[in-house]
């Protein structure tokens, strides 16, 4: 491992904190990120928000139930989703970011975008971190923007693009291939000066149902890279397809898989249902302390 990358990992792992301005998040224990979708076609209807009142109500609920990060996204990344323009993404994101920042000044706000230009706008308007489904592979200028703002960055793996990622995704050794991607992309960000990385193996993004469960079983392998792990499996098809239900009925399955994710090293759970995720964390902590 290159010394620069190793030194960065060693320092970050020791501190186990995320920093944005004067705010800090301690990653010693698992945290919850609450999802706020600003799209009209999210795969889960319960996460869509089309007006300010609804958005603020949902955000307040997430915070009251224990979320320390709100993740807002304006581009649907469900399989087969239609790509929207940069202007449309910005028009959806910025008004919501402004009202959330003004209403909840102390909460961490993450912006789900793969466009560096959108990331720059949002960071300038008060966002605390960027959550990129492409891990910097869709927009090569992302490392520079993240480094200049000294902000935390979620580096996720995806195979293909949302429009085609579920069209027969294949791997030789999926764990090794994703580990290689995460290491390679991490180096690009560290070389650019980024100091706070969170890694996400990208459940459901260019993976079959079998791939997803294999990744979950071997999640701890990615901890060896040295950066904290985030997992987003909330109400996804890896749950409802297996159980032959729909996303609305997948809360129980989500709690089960979130339990496994935490036991295998996840530090951030990205979820639609904060209360249940917090209960999961509390029960695991009590179990592990007994």
User: Which residue out of 236, 241, 267, 275 is catalytically annotated?
Assistant: 236
Contact 159, 206 (CB under 8 A): yes
Which residues contact residue 235 at a Cβ distance below 8 angstroms, ignoring those fewer than 6 apart?
43, 44, 247, 248, 250, 251, 254, 272, 273
Q: In degrees rounded to 5, what are phi and psi of residue 239?
A: -95, -60
Active site residue 270: yes
**Three-class secondary structure of residue 269 per DSSP:** strand
Per the DSSP assignment, residues forming a β-bridge with 32 are 269
CA dihedral 230, 47, 256, 183 (to 10 degrees): -20
Respond yes or no: is residue 235 known to be catalytic. no
- Exactly one of 92, 270, 282, 286 is catalytic; name it: 270
| Cα gap 169→174, rounded to integer Å | 10
Using CA atoms, how far apart are residues 25 and 61, in angstroms rounded to an integer?
20
Residues with catalytic function: 236, 270
């Amino acid at each position: 491992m290159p010394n620069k990358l190793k030194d960065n990992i060693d320092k970050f792992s020791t501190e186990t904190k995320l920093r944005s301005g004067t705010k800090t998040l301690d990653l010693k224990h698992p945290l919850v990120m609450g999802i706020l979708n600003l799209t009209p076609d999210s795969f889960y209807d319960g996460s869509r928000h089309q007006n300010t009142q609804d958005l603020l109500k949902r955000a307040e609920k997430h915070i009251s139930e224990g979320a320390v990060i709100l993740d807002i996204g304006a581009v649907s990344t469900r399989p087969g989703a239609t790509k929207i323009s940069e202007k449309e993404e910005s028009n959806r994101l910025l008004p919501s970011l402004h009202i959330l920042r003004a209403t909840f000044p102390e909460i961490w706000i993450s912006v789900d975008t793969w466009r560096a230009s959108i990331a720059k706008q949002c960071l300038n308007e008060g966002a605390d971190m960027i959550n990129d489904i492409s891990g910097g592979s869709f927009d090569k200028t992302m490392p520079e923007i993240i480094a200049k703002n000294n902000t935390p960055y979620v580096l996720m793996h995806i195979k293909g693009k949302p429009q085609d990622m579920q069209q027969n995704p294949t791997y030789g050794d999926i764990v090794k291939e994703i580990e290689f991607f995460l290491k390679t992309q991490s180096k690009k960000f560290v070389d650019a000066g980024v100091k706070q990385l969170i890694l996400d193996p990208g459940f459901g993004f260019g993976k079959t149902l079998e791939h997803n469960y294999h990744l979950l079983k071997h999640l701890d392998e990615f901890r060896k890279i040295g950066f904290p792990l985030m997992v987003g499996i909330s109400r996804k098809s890896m749950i409802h397809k297996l159980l032959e239900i729909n996303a609305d009925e997948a809360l129980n399955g989500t709690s089960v898989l979130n339990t496994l994710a935490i036991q295998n090293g996840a530090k951030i759970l990205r979820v639609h249902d904060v209360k249940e995720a917090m209960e999961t964390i509390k029960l695991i902590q009590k179990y592990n302390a007994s």
